[in-house]
Structure formats: C-alpha cells, structure tokens
A and B are shown apart, each in its own frame.
Chain A
C-alpha cells in the first residue's frame, strides 16, 4: 500500500491533511480526510454563565462569527423561554443575510474562483487571487465589492464586522439606525447586479467542467436544511427537513428541539472533526449533506422572485435533485441572490426600525437549542444549564461537520478519477483540494470540539513509506 498526503490543503478556512492510499498497481485504494486542529469549546465553556455563550462561541470562527452568534443567541432565548421582539428577529435575519452574502462571496471569488476561472490545471503560481486580477479583473473587483457590501451591512447593524456584541440573548442590543437602512437600500441594486453578472458568467463557464461535475462528490446522499412552513428556503429560522437521494421527503418540519432524534454524531479515530449521520439510517449509511447544494435540494422554493427564477433554471439544467458537489458553487450564487432579496424585503418592512428589540428574562428552561442555516449549512447550538444559569453541558454541530462523511467520500471519488501512479500530478492534487473547497468547509468551526488546517497531501507506498508529499 502506497500513500499520498496533501498537507496542507490551501484556500480553505482552517487546517487539514488528506491521505491517499494506493494499491500495489498504483491505483487509489482509499483516502482519508484529517482535520488536524483541536480547540475544546464544548468543554471549556462549562461553568460559564449561559448569556456569555454568544460572544464565546463566536470566537470559534472569524469568517462566520455571526452564524455562531445567532445560533447561540437562539439557544439562550430558549433558556430564557422568551419570544424575542419581532423587530429583533428581523434585525437578526438581516444581519444573517449580510453574513451569507459576504461568506458566499468569499467562498466563490476569493477561494474558488482561481480554480474555476483560471482552470484546475493552470499554473499554480498564478492560480490565486493575484492571477485572477490579471486574467479576470472585473470578476475579482465584483467579488471584492460584494464581500465588502456584506461586511458593511454587518458593520452598520452590529457596529463591528467581526465578533460584534450586538446580538444578545433576548434579541439585539440596539435598534436599526434609519440612516443605515437607507445606505444599505441604496447599495443593494449594485450588489444584486454583481450577483446576476456572476450567475450569468458561471452558467457560461459550467460546460468547461464536465469531468469535475461528474466526479466531484457526485454520489447519492440525503440532504438536510431548514424550511419554512410552506417548504420555502429559510436561513435564520425554520424547521428541519431531510430528503432522500431521490428527493423524497423522509422527515419534515422537525422542530429544532428534536434534532437529536434524527442526527447522531460519530467520532473518528484520525480526525478532530466528528461525523454526524442521519440516525434512523445508522452510522455511515446515514450520510447526508448540508449547505447551499443541500438547501436547494431540500426546499420547494426559495420564496423570493428572482432567486426562484434562478432556482427553476438551475433545476431545469441539472434536475430536481442535484447531487454533484461541484454545483455547490452554483447553488451558493443563487443563495446570495436570495439573501439580497430578503434584505430588501426586511429593509422595506417598517417594523425593521422598531425600538423594542430586547427581551429580558432569567433562566426559565434548563436546556436550550438554537438552529440556523449558516452559510455552509445547518448550525446547531445546544446547551444545558443549572438553576443559576451556569453551563453544565454544550454540544455544537457545525455545517462542515454534517458534510464530513460526504467530503471524505468526495475525496475518494475525485482521487480515483484523477490520481494515478506513484507521482502526484499537480492538477490532480488541486482537484482533490478543490472538491473540499466546493463544500467551503470551515475547519476552524468543525474542530470546535477540541485547532489547525492548511492542507497536506501525502502519497504512501504499500508499506506505509512516504513516496511523495505536496503542501
């Protein structure tokens, strides 16, 4: 058995290593995806007052702190047993839309566009954001402008782009400034135009990737995401829906409080990332995916006109259930459009300027669960407290965790298709890394449980000797 290790995987959030094992004929026998950072959040929060959890858990991630802030605040709302004021719920969703736009822009433009627009086999020295500037300056400019817009929405609302303290248990701690609403409304059309331009560009570019579409995590799995009562896309609040590989709904309108009935978590011997699975199907068979691709498979519709039109075209091109992981990119752009449309709806709602934005209460439940759809997928925060409000137990299931089994299987599939022999070809290793990038994993988040993941690819021989290594 020979082994290839990609150590570390680049252009992802966090640190990872991939090992590819080859058989005696030099063909790929197996692959392993290792998340190599250890962080320990679930343990060290024990004893802290529950209302500190949003700010503590936001530190899990610098890319999507807003996701953790929101899921955590919702879990705390549940501990307080309050229904937060309507304006606060809308403001939180607005903040979340800003987060979705900035994060999806980061994933598509900053991290994946070098592969997608310059080509998987392009010169690695130029296959980066600088190379993109030379070849596709307009696209890059769009990407930077879109991410900036999302970040500024967050800053206008929450006063800080990273780790804001605005989202609190019971709501938010300050109402929306009308001037911030007007500025965002004025900037929305340009952000919409960028997403539409990028969608048009992407639809033209898709045909350049037949092999990648065929082999990037292209296998049947279940899918999971939040939906509204009418089956429409929900990012901030909703109930869980699981659909099978054929699109049949297997569990619908699952209350977030009941997640543990449907989601089990397996621990893996060689990774700090746990592997959630659909409990009724058992470990390994219960493989499911979350995130943009999964959400668009799960929902009946988006619920906003322009995103729905794009969804119809997407399904027309690719089918009702889209299983190739390569299409995460396409789905991500449609979601960015949805988030911008939702932003407009929320900002046009006069309630958004409501000044009653925070509910105060003591501990009224000893357990609280908060679920949102983070940019990368379903995010679950689950806390238990004692009578005085000190955390006694915490469980966090993050988006990248849900996708762990699928990412691992995707790596095997793409490695079997592109890696051959005892020498690693650069284009092959890049594809192995690119399949991971398609999921836009956040390994800092995924290893919250107890971390570090730029990526390493190692090629090991039959006796375990290191034949080649790429990092």
Chain B
C-alpha cells in the first residue's frame, strides 16, 4: 500500500503519495512551478534548474522535479530569490546559443520564449556566446538546429524511453555539449531512427522541427507524447 504523506506548498496543506516528486504533486494540485527539461511521461533529470524551490530547513535550493516528497515537507514555489535564479537560468540559455525568435519556426509556440516572457525578460544581461553551430538538414522530414537547442534532453529521453530506439545522446562536456544522433552520424543516416517524430514533438524550442514550416508555424504535440506513457501504464 502506498504511503500517504502531507506536505505544504506555499502554505497550503496537500495530500501526496510517497515517491512522488514535489513537481508532480504541485502540478496535480494546480500549483505552478516552471520547468523546461521536465516532461510528463519521461524520467526526470533536473538539468534546466528552472523548477528550483525553497524547502524549509534546507539551506540550498532543490529541483522540484527530482526531489521526492516527505511527510511535513514545506515548499515555497515563488520568491524574489527564486525569481532571480530562474531569470538567470533563462538568460544564460539565451546567451549560450543563437536563439533568434524573430525568424524561428517555433516563435509564439516556444516554451523557452514563453517562460522568458512570463519572467519579464526583455534583455539578456550576459554577453552572447555566438557559437558557430550547424543545422542538420539530412533527415527527409525533420530538421535539427543546434542554434536553438537548450540541451534539455527531452528528445533523448523520449526516443529512449517511449520509442525505445535511443537515437539521441548528448556528447561532450559543459559548454561544448552537443546533441548527437547515433554516435555522431547525421540524423538522416541514423539506422535506428524510426522517423516517428516524437523527439520533434517533445522539443520545447525550435531546435527540432518538421521540415517545410515557416516562421511561427511549428506547433508541437507534447501532450500526445506524454499520453503514450500513461496509456501504456494503464494497460
């Protein structure tokens, strides 16, 4: 029998199940915590650092997507400190690569852009890195633009955990990390890719897109990918 626990989120007492993460409990109870690398139906990796929350009695911030709930846990989801850190994390993502919303297929439907707007970001305080990055156009139906990739790894996990093909990985370290298909083979030549396109639908930005769409035209079906997991679990 699953153990029931009671926690507080922003002062409100909420019943949860042991093993759930703070983020899962918060979302189930309509409490908003921003996140980019988290996607329902996939394992959580805690890499984007946007879901950081304050937990009473803990001196450091904790990622809500990977922190399991415990009896009596008291969580604060928004504060000046959290807002500052989240803005910083978002701005660093923009500074790291070449996110030019004006000409992006996902403009208007982009999770990164939308979070930046929610956080009132109008300028980036850090110098842009302006890396010279490539666009992989080799797949007949999809395109990967490294300029717009935030390394959230949702595509990696979608392909490995839902499709079971594990085409994608992240190679390199630190700022040199790059998304790679099949050990550096161009996407169009990847023998394990089933061309299912679920990675594209899971991508929060315009980094992965269907070919042929113009600026602002690429809308993603993230929920459809998440649903696959819950439907399988229901079998």
Contacts and interface: CB of A to CB of B under 8 A. Distances in A.
15 contacts: A49-B135, A49-B137, A49-B211, A52-B105, A52-B215, A55-B102, A55-B103, A55-B214, A59-B103, A168-B217, A169-B214, A173-B214, A362-B140, A388-B188, A389-B211
Contacts of A360: 212
B32 interface: no
B102 A49 contact: no
Interface string A148-182: 00000000000000010100110001000000000
B211 A168 contact: no
A75 to B, nearest CB: 14
A183 B21 CA distance: 55
A253 to B, nearest CB: 31
A388 B137 contact: yes
Interface residues of A, number: 20
A56 interface: yes
A61 to B, nearest CB: 14
B211 to A, nearest CB: 7
Contacts of B194: none
Contact of A51 (B134, B213, B216): B213
A47 interface: yes
Contacts of A362: 140, 211-212
B135 A51 contact: no
B138 interface: yes
Nearest to B143: A49
A203 interface: no
Contacts of B217: 165, 168, 173
B215 A55 contact: yes
Given A59-B103, A389-B137, 10 more contacts: A47-B135, A49-B143, A51-B213, A55-B103, A165-B214, A165-B216, A165-B217, A169-B212, A169-B214, A389-B211
Interface string B154-187: 0000000000000000000000000000000000
A165 B102 CA distance: 10
A399 interface: no
Interface string B199-235: 0000000000001111111000000000000000000
Chain A interface secondary structure, helix, strand, loop or mixed? loop
A443 B105 CA distance: 28
A288 B171 CA distance: 55
- Chain B contact-residue range equals 10 to 19
A360 B135 CA distance: 22
A52 B188 contact: no
Contacts of B188: 388
A406 interface: no
Interface in A45-71: 47-49, 51-52, 54-56, 59
Nearest to A390: B137
Given A47-B134, A49-B135, A54 B214 contact: yes
A294 to B, nearest CB: 32
A165 B135 contact: no
Nearest to A166: B214
Contacts of B216: 165
Contacts of A173: 214, 217
Contacts of A386: 137
Contacts of B137: 49, 386, 388-390
A48 B135 contact: yes
Contacts of B214: 51-52, 54-55, 165, 168-169, 173
Interface string A214-238: 0000000000000000000000000
B212 to A, nearest CB: 6
A49 B213 CA distance: 10
Contacts of A49: 135, 137, 143, 211
Contact of B138 (A47, A54, A56, A388): A388
Nearest to B132: A47
Interface string A378-396: 0000000010111000000
Interface in B112-127: none
Nearest to B137: A388
A390 B187 CA distance: 14
Nearest to B105: A52
Interface in B27-43: none
A56 B105 CA distance: 11
Nearest to B206: A52
Nearest to B188: A388
Interface string B136-153: 011010010000000000
Most buried by A among B103, B134, B135, B214: B214
A168 B143 CA distance: 18
Contacts of A55: 102-103, 214-215
B154 to A, nearest CB: 22
A245 to B, nearest CB: 42
Contact of B102 (A51, A163, A389, A390): A163
Nearest to A47: B135
Nearest to A76: B214
A163 B138 CA distance: 29
B145 to A, nearest CB: 8
A398 B64 CA distance: 54
A386 B102 CA distance: 25
Contacts of B211: 49, 51, 362, 389
B44 to A, nearest CB: 32
A48 B214 CA distance: 12
Nearest to A160: B216
B144 to A, nearest CB: 11
Contacts of B212: 51, 169, 360, 362
B103 A52 contact: yes
Most buried by B among A51, A173, A388: A388
A386 to B, nearest CB: 8
Contacts of B102: 55, 59, 163
